[in-house]
Structures are given as C-alpha cells and as structure tokens.
Structure 1
Amino acid sequence: MNKASLIENISYQDNQSPTVTVLLKTPSTKELRIVMKKGQFMKEHKAPYPIVIELFEGEVDFGIEGGKQLLKRGDMVALEANVPHDLDCISNCIVRLSISVLDTIERVNKVSQ
C-alpha cells in the first residue's frame, strides 16, 4: 500500500514557478501535486501520454486548443496525448495530476518554469 497527502507540507513559491511534487508512483501512473500561487502559470505544453487533472483547491483558467475554461475546486479534466494546454492560476490552488509512469517529472517541471 502507498499513502500520500495532497494537503500536507504545502509550499507556495514566491517566484513565478509552481511547486511540483511526486506523491505516489504506481505500476501505471505517477500522481503529482502542483501547488500554484495566484498569478503563477504553466505555459502551453503537450503531454506525450494521456493525463488526468483534478483541481483540489482554488481556481484555474485552463487553456485548451485556443479556448479557456474556468476550473473550480473538484473539477476534473482528462486529456489524450499531445493536446496543447496551459494553466493560469486565478487563486491559490492545489492540482492533482496523473501522468503515465513512462512520463517524467522533469518534463512537468520544465513547463512550470
């Protein structure tokens, strides 16, 4: 059994970079927590594998294929591989991101800088 918490040891960075943490690794996924402070963003990027995004706390303007959708606490989005998207934090938020075990935390960190 693996256990992790989305709300323990939260650290909001004062710079423009969200904080990305690997919470769990399973045989098929990596479960990440992205902590974003109001005004922080993740530039447009694509994931090489399908992903699931869950907004645990706060609000995010979620850009996808030229449009914007407001995501609020509790909202979830599933994207297929290679779909361009971005995140703009409206209020301090905690995002849970499920990525393929074949994907890397380095890729996620790169788009959050």
Structure 2
Amino acid sequence: MKTASLTNDLEYNEKHPVINVLLDTDTGKEIRIAFKKGQVMKKHHTPFPIVVEIFEGSIDFGVNGEVYTVNKGDLLALEASVSHDLTALKDSIVRLSLNKADTAKRVEDVAKSSS
C-alpha cells in the first residue's frame, strides 16, 4: 500500500505553479499542482486522458475556446490531445491523475514555461 497527502508539505512558488508527484503506481500517477492566485498554466495538451480534481480553491479551466470556472470538489475528465489552460482565481490545490505512460516532467515543463 502507498499513501500520500494533498496538504502535507504543501509549497507555493511566486513565479509558477508547483508540481509534486504524490503517488506513482503500476497504473498511474497522482500529481499535486499548487497555484497561487493569478498563476497560469498556458494552453497545452496531454498525450493521454487525464482526470482533474479541484481539491481547494477555484480555477478558470479553458477548453476549446470556452472557459469553465471549477471550484473545490469539482472533477473533470479530458481525453488525450484536448488543448486546455488553467488560471487560478485564488490559491488552489489541484489533483491531476495521469496515465502511467505520461510524465510529471511534462507537467512541470508546462508550469515553468507559463511564468
């Protein structure tokens, strides 16, 4: 059994969202993204389907030219290759479920290039 916490050892960065791998299992990865209010992850897409949970806060989630405000407790699923962007409306914690074949480095690169 593996365990993790979305709130323990939480860090924010003033320049860009902070990415942490919480769990890496045989079937997938659970990633925490910590956003300060106003931080952005610019438009990008994933090579595999993803599931996003807003654990804390509020995010404007852009998909195909539409913007959806998602709040604490909301879940969304995206298929592979769907372009999307995120903007934190307040300090937020996002849980991202990745396919095992996807990489946390790809997510980190998006976050760092968005600042």
Question: Where on the TM-score scale, by shorter chain, does this alignment land: which range?
Answer: over 0.9
User: SS of the residue aligned with 1:91?
Assistant: coil
Equivalent runs, 1:20-99 vs 2, <5 Å: 20-99=19-98
Question: Quick one: percent identity of the two aligned structures?
Answer: 47
How much is the aligned-residue C-alpha RMSD, in angstroms?
0.5
What's the TM-score, normalizing by structure 2? Answer: 0.96
Give me the whole-angstrom Cα distance separating, in 2, the residues matched to 1:82 and 1:14: 29
Give me the whole-angstrom Cα distance separating, in 1, the residues matched to 2:26 and 2:88: 31
User: SS of the residue aligned with 2:106?
Assistant: helix
Q: Which residue of the partner structure matches residue 7 of structure 1? A: 7
Give me the whole-angstrom Cα distance separating, in 2, the residues matched to 1:54 and 1:84: 17
Gaps of 5+ in 1: none
How many residues get paired?
112
Gaps of 5+ in 2: none
Give me the whole-angstrom Cα distance separating, in 2, the residues matched to 1:85 and 1:71: 13
User: SS of the residue aligned with 1:63?
Assistant: strand
Greater share of strand: 1
Give me the whole-angstrom Cα distance separating, in 1, the residues matched to 2:88 and 2:27: 28
Cα deviation, residue 12, structure 1: 1.2
Give me the whole-angstrom Cα distance separating, in 2, the residues matched to 1:65 and 1:112: 20
Q: Which residue of the partner structure matches residue 102 of structure 2? A: 103
User: SS of the residue aligned with 2:90?
Assistant: strand
